[in-house]
Amino acid sequence: MAQMLAGDIRKGVTFEYKSGVYTVTDFQHVKPGKGAAFVRTTLKNVVTGQVLSDQTFNPTAKLETVQVETKKMTYSYFDGEFYVFMDEEYNQTMLTHDQVEDALKYIKENDVVTVKFLYGAAFSVEPENFVELKVIEAEPGVKGNTATNVMKNEAGVRPEDVETGAVIQVPMFVNEGETIRIDTRTGEYMSRV
C-alpha cells in the first residue's frame, strides 16, 4: 500500500485509520501562533458511513492510502434476499439491503449505477446524479398555482409519489403520470421531462 503524509491531505483522499477505511470530507491546515502546526479533518467511514469530526494529525504523520474502486453496473433484479447488479461482461454482484438502501429510492430495474469496491468486495451503490422517474401519486394542483416555486405542502406528499417509492417535493403543476427529473445528490425535483 502507498503512504502519504498527513500534510498532503485533501478532500476525497481515502486512507486506513482506527481499524477502518475513511475518506476526507473536510480538512484545514492549522498553524497556531504557538505550538506545532496540525491538520484538522472530518472523516467518513466508506463502509459504515460513520463520521469522525475534528480528527487532528501531525503534518509529518504517515498514513496508509487505500484505493476505492468504482464500476458502472446495471441493476438487474431483487431475488427476495439480495439485489443483483451486472457489469458489461455479465458478471453478477449481489448486495444486501443495507448496502443499497440509500440508492433504492432512485433506481429501478435496468438502471445504470456506480458500485463501489474496497479490496475487491462491493460495499455500496450510487445512482446517477440525475434520474427520471414517473409520478404515480400526487395531490391535484389548484388552478392558478403555476409558478415553479409553489411547492406542494407536506400533507400532499405521499410515500408513493414516484415509481420507486421516494418522497419528492414537487411543484403544484406536476400531475400524476408525468415523468420528472430528480437530483439524487439532494433528493430535489429539477424539472418535468
How far is Cα 68 from Cα 46, in angstroms, rounded to an integer? Answer: 9
How far is Cα 157 from Cα 105, in angstroms, rounded to an integer? Answer: 15
How far is Cα 115 from Cα 122, in angstroms, rounded to an integer? Answer: 7
The pLDDT confidence band at residue 154, using thresholds 50, 70 and 90, is: very low
The pLDDT confidence band at residue 16, using thresholds 50, 70 and 90, is: very high
Q: Where are the beta strands (DSSP E) in the chain?
A: 3-5, 14-17, 20-30, 38-45, 51-57, 62-64, 69-78, 83-86, 92-95, 112-118, 121-127, 130-134, 179-183, 188-192
Question: Do 63 and 1 touch, CB atoms closer than 8 A?
Answer: no
18-62 confidence digits (pLDDT tens) = 989 998 989 999 998 888 999 999 998 888 888 999 999 999 999
Determine the average pLDDT of the residues in 71-80.
95
How far is Cα 174 from Cα 96, in angstroms, rounded to an integer? Answer: 34
The pLDDT confidence band at residue 157, using thresholds 50, 70 and 90, is: very low
- At 149 the pLDDT is 46
How far is Cα 112 from Cα 89, in angstroms, rounded to an integer? Answer: 14
- At 143 the pLDDT is 52
Cell of 145: 398555482
Residue 71 pLDDT > 50: yes
Q: Which has more pLDDT, 67 or 28? A: 28
Chain mean pLDDT for the chain: 85
- At 148 the pLDDT is 46
Prediction pTM value: 0.72
Question: Which residues on neighbouring strands pair with residue 92, listed in sequence order?
Answer: 86
- At 138 the pLDDT is 74
- At 73 the pLDDT is 96
Please enumerate in sequence order all residues whose Cβ is within 8 A of that of 89, keeping only pairs 6 or more positions apart, or say none.
none
Q: Which range among 36-40, 71-75, 116-120, 150-154 shows the weakest confidence by mean pLDDT?
A: 150-154
Percent of the chain with pLDDT strictly greater than 90: 46
